[in-house]
């Protein structure tokens, strides 16, 4: 793991470079499970993704020693992952694959800081644009991306299954009932893009 950027105040941003960094990858998978219960990535998927040279992961770390118990292997990690951004870079395009913040640390600007780091590196890395996909019912994320300069370029209709326990799907989301027994619905995926101006 190499340090990419630090700030006077914690947490820090690090770039995960070693797929053997199991403790950090497990924490990312654990956050995924909590914030994306219907379509989260498991640890093997994250590890396999990071094993490919075009894929990268930035994480926000808080200096808090935690113990991770997974599959009978106990690991102690001196840092707690509080936010992460998995992305790929192929030629001049960055594709944000996954981004998330631990629920206890949401609404503190951590996801914005991670995305801003990617945006700020565009000229240096010769990147022309960043693309990402977001659920149409995720208003907080859509607002954040728009605030950072992302614009909607496309919609995938009825792409995601919506949590039947979730309430208040908002305007702009296309939702269809697909099962009276389960209450499951479908939700659009919005493709958004940030384009470097110079």
- CA 92, 196, 146, 153 torsion: positive or negative? negative
**pLDDT-derived band at 149, boundaries 50, 70, 90:** very high
Q: Are residues 119 and 173 in the same domain?
A: no
Q: Are residues 53 and 2 in the same domain?
A: yes
61 vs 70 pLDDT, higher one: 61
Q: Are residues 187 and 93 in the same domain?
A: no
**Catalytic (active-site) positions:** 133, 145
Domain housing 147 = 134-198
pLDDT tens, residue by residue, 69-101: 555 455 566 778 899 999 999 999 999 999 999
Among 127, 153, 185, the domain boundary falls at: 127
- Its pTM stands at 0.78
- The confidence score (pLDDT) of residue 172 equals 41
Average pLDDT of the segment spanning 112-131: 92
Q: Are residues 148 and 113 in the same domain?
A: no
Q: How many domains does the structure of the chain reveal?
A: 2
Q: Are residues 106 and 12 in the same domain?
A: yes
Q: Are residues 148 and 105 in the same domain?
A: no
pLDDT tens, residue by residue, 158-197: 887 765 554 444 434 444 444 444 556 888 999 999 999 8
Q: Are residues 20 and 58 in the same domain?
A: yes
Rounded Cα distance, 11 and 20, in Å:
22
β-pair type (129-135, 93-101): parallel
Both structure tokens of 108: 């503190």
Q: Are residues 23 and 106 in the same domain?
A: yes
């Amino acid at each position: 793991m190499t340090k990419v950027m630090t700030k006077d105040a914690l947490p820090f941003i690090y770039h995960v470079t070693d797929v053997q960094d199991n403790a950090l990858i497990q924490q990312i998978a654990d956050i995924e499970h909590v914030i994306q219960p219907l379509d989260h990535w498991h640890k093997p998927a994250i590890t396999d993704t990071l094993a490919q040279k075009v894929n990268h992961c930035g994480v926000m770390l808080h200096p808090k020693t935690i113990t991770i118990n997974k599959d009978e292997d106990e690991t102690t990690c001196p840092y707690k992952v509080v936010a992460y951004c998995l992305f790929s870079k192929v030629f001049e395009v960055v594709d944000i694959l996954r981004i998330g913040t631990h629920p206890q640390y949401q609404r503190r600007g951590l996801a914005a800081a991670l995305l801003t780091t990617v945006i700020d590196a565009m000229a240096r890395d010769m990147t022309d644009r960043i693309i990402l996909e977001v659920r149409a019912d995720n208003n907080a994320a859509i607002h954040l991306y728009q605030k950072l300069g992302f614009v909607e370029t496309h919609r995938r209709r009825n792409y995601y299954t919506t949590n039947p326990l979730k309430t208040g799907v908002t305007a702009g989301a296309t939702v269809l009932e697909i099962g009276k027994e389960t209450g499951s619905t479908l939700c659009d995926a919005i493709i958004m893009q940030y384009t470097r101006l110079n």
